[in-house]
Amino acid sequence: MSGAGAAARKARAARSRRRRVVRLALLALTGLISAPAAAQDTPPDLEARTRLVASQLRCPVCQGLSIQDSPSELAQEMKQVVRAQLAAGRTPDEVKAYFVARYGEWILLEPEPRGFNLAVYLLPVLALLAGLAVVGVVVRRWTRSGDVAQA
Amino acid sequence: MTRLLGLSACAVALALAVFGAAAAVMGARLRRPELVRSAIAAAYANFALLLVANLAMVYALVTRDFSISYVAQVGSRATPLFYTIISLWGALDGSILFWGLVLSGYTALAVRWSRAEAGAVLPYALAILLAVGSFFYLLLVGPANPFGRMFPVPVDGPGPNPLLQNHLLMAIHPPLLYLGYVGMTVPFAFATGALLAGGLDDRWIRLTRRWTLTAWGFLSLAIIAGMWWSYEVLGWGGYWAWDPVENASFMPWLTATAFLHSAMVEERRGLLRVWNVSLVVATFVLTILGTFLTRSGILSSVHAFTQGTIGFFFLAFIAVVLLFSLALVAGRSTELRGTGRLEGVVSRDTAFLLNNLLFTAFTFTVLLGTLFPLAAEAVRGVKVSVGAPFFNRMTIPLCAALLFLVGVGPALPWGRPERQLLRRKFVPPFLALGLVAGTLLALGVRAPFTVAAFAFAGFALTANLGEFADGTRARRRAHGEAPPRALVRLVRSNPRRYGGYLAHLGVLLIALGITASSSFRTERQATLRPGQTLAIAGHVLRFERLWARQEPQRFVVAADLTVLRGSTSLGRLDPRLNYYAASAEPVATPAVRSRARADLYVTLLAFEQDGSSATFHAYVQPLVIWIWLGGAVIAAGALLALSQRRERRSPGGERLPAAAQAEAR
């Protein structure tokens, strides 16, 4: 029994390691992009932190606007909640988790980068890299001297 | 009577389109020119019929004939005449009717203007145009019939969507969008028509390029007008939210822009033919897909007028178009094989290939992000959102790279440029890049993409202006002309080339406007009593009073604000909230004070009923106006490029005479 438990633990550890590797790879691929976001992760004053979290939450009664941008009353109230929770010492992730628990994942304007959602982050990068390879091959082929009329 | 007239016009148009498509193909196959002529007559007649149907609908709207279903849906006795007329395109059925008018107009013009040049391709292209037309006319007599019978006849209607009767731009943005969107059908028809006709020569690329450029010019203007409308009406201080309907208009623009560049590689090198056909097909399919996504209600959006069966029609149509195009390309694969080669790796050709790669990756990213919520719901059973933070994160690096290429492309000569020429072309742009980046860093700007965007814009601006300067200098030296005259002569000697550079300048204005307004935006929110002030970025706003007014179709609450600098008054702003019977939430009208340096933008968020206080959100954003200006410059560039009547083409992919002259030294 304990052997099976250890195996399960090991598998879990491997899984979480794999997940970490995937996340790292994702981070590296979009490294340039996430750098500015990371730099803004903990702005000093409450207003700036509120803005940052509020711009990642969807206004439920608008057309894809964040509660930061939306002029609607509901969005204003939700932003108050964000501000109050941040002031009470909660981290941005905890505040977001609070809204996800109430509204579902839909409330996040950017899907969480894990599981199936990774596709939406990775596919464009992979497509770009594949395209780059194709362009490289094509340019090489088309510029090879003496070789006329290749597809 | 009006109902019968409109509906029968649509029905006859459908019959004529089906007949015309068949007659055109048979006429070409059996060499019976009279059949082709009758198809052409059918195309002209269709335009007249759709004009009648649209005028019938406008008449019904204006006379408030609520026995007609579309009027009962969007009309109301209280709506002012202007907004009553433009509600023609305010909801699904009417917009399909208007689509039909634009499509039949384009069909007639394509026949009229390109008949001689298209030659043997014309009957096939006409058949495609009429076949696409018959799909839309089928919608008009079937699932999207705007002339349905209402019984009992309602006394009044709800009026158009409040968001769509709040600003003059609603009269401009939709027609421009249709001219852009529907216009992409013509290049599709000429491309597939040329494949159907066989014996592919370089005629098809000239025809498709010109018609794509026309539609692209309208689409560019439409997107900018849509941004402007969003800015002036939605009251959130921004102009682009990555809403599905915005993405739907943007994706065909991206693929069409890619095509306008890659078409040049085919014209000069005889390469990329399959790729170019694919881009033209993709652009057309993306217009239909965009309409399907936003009109079927499958993704919720401002423009989604949820309807029943129409989605299936669109999906089936998209499937048919894709299968048909794939089969055509496969069937003609030998004729489509490229014949040329490139002379050097470091050349404008390579820049164009990279340009196409980036535009394609951009389109793919936007498409994936737009469709991903559907995929997530299907696979995981969970609703997710893919919004602005995602699109900004994924596409801003692509935008930066494209901005850089806007400079690289024009500065890189075709063929195999010499090292010395390269140095001369690239030293000034790189100096500008370093200067801009250094200045911004010295000023304390640290956001990497803000610095990159401005630096690349400086690079590209120098490179594009350099092309005008080099050409002018060459003419001055060769002909001894004074600079202004030399510049005008230069542009007129090759409008297509300089139209392209002018469009680049427009893109750069837009890039500067977007970067500046999003990076250096200041916003403040405050609740004020009359007489109290709010200070924001050098401006002071004083709340004077609250007032209200009953208008026929709405109740308006507005706040008077005085804009002060020091103690001098710069003017008044009156942000409003409009209450419509048809909408639970008020529709805000922000007050905007636009200046070349910055916009001051104020919305009224809430107020006390007795006027004792009001809550405002104020934004100061630099260079917003440059975005709208950039749109006009792009359109001017497209117009200039289109003014070149005859294509000058030198065989063997040599430089054009004017180009050679400009690059002589």
Tens-digit pLDDT profile for residues B67-117: 999 999 999 999 999 999 999 998 889 999 999 999 999 999 999 999 888
Hey, is the C-beta of B632 within 8 angstroms of any chain A C-beta? no
pLDDT mean over B463-481: 92
Q: Beta strand pairing status for B576-579 and B568-573?
A: unpaired
Average pLDDT value over all residues in chain B: 91
Hey, is the C-beta of B372 within 8 angstroms of any chain A C-beta? yes
Instruction: Compute the count of residue pairs across chains A and B with CB atoms less than 8 Å apart.
Output: 146
Residue range A42-110 forms a domain whose CATH class is mainly alpha
Say which residues have a Cβ less than 8 Å from residue A79's Cβ, sequence separation at least 6.
A50, A54, A67, A68
Domain chopping of chain A, boundaries: 1-39, 42-110, 113-151
What angle, 0 to 180 degrees and rounded to 10, lies between the N-to-C axes of helices B348-380 and A118-143?
150
Question: What is the share, in percent, of chain B residues with pLDDT greater than 70?
Answer: 95
Question: For B296-308, what is each residue's pLDDT tens digit?
Answer: 777 754 444 445 6
Tokens 């010492």 found at: A89
CB within 8 Å: B380 and A55: no
Q: Which two tokens stand for residue B420?
A: 């010395």
Q: Which residue of A has its CA nearest to B379?
A: A116
CB within 8 Å: B396 and A65: no
CB within 8 Å: B364 and A127: yes
Determine contact, residues B553/B159, Cβ cutoff 8 Å: yes
Question: For B162-189, what is each residue's pLDDT tens digit?
Answer: 888 888 898 999 999 999 999 999 999 9
Confidence of residue A88 (pLDDT cuts 50, 70, 90): very high
Confidence of residue B293 (pLDDT cuts 50, 70, 90): confident
Which of A120, A124, A139 minimises the CB distance to B350?
A: A139
Q: Which residue of B has its CA nearest to A149?
A: B339
Q: Which residues of B481-502 are buried (b: 16+ CB within 10 A; e: fewer)?
A: beeeebbeebbebbbbbbbbbb
pLDDT value, residue B583: 80
Neighboring chain B residues of A148 at a CB cutoff of 8 Å: 341
Chain-centre distance for alpha carbon B32 = 40
> pTM for the complete prediction?
0.90
Q: What DSSP string describes A57-110?
A: BB-TTSSS-BTTT--SHHHHHHHHHHHHHHHTT--HHHHHHHHHHHH-GGGBSS
3-state DSSP call for residue B415? Answer: coil
Hey, is the C-beta of B584 within 8 angstroms of any chain A C-beta? no
Hey, is the C-beta of B588 within 8 angstroms of any chain A C-beta? yes
Question: For A97-149, what is each residue's pLDDT tens digit?
Answer: 999 999 999 999 999 988 999 999 999 999 999 999 999 999 888 887 544 44
Average pLDDT value over all residues in chain A: 78
pLDDT value, residue A24: 53
> Which residue of B246, B294, B302, B390 to mutate against A (max A Cβ within 10 Å)?
B390
Residues recorded for chain A:
151
d(CA B602, CA B561): 9
3-state DSSP call for residue B411? Answer: helix
Does the pLDDT at position B531 exceed 80? yes
Determine contact, residues B261/B547, Cβ cutoff 8 Å: no
pLDDT value, residue A145: 55
Which of B385, B397, B585 minimises the CB distance to A72?
A: B585
CA B664 to each of CA B173, B416, B471, B653: distance values in angstroms, whole numbers, following the listed order: 44, 14, 9, 17
Q: Beta strand pairing status for B591-594 and B598-607?
A: antiparallel
Residues 438-477 of B with CB under 8 A from A: 446-449
Does the pLDDT at position A67 exceed 80? yes
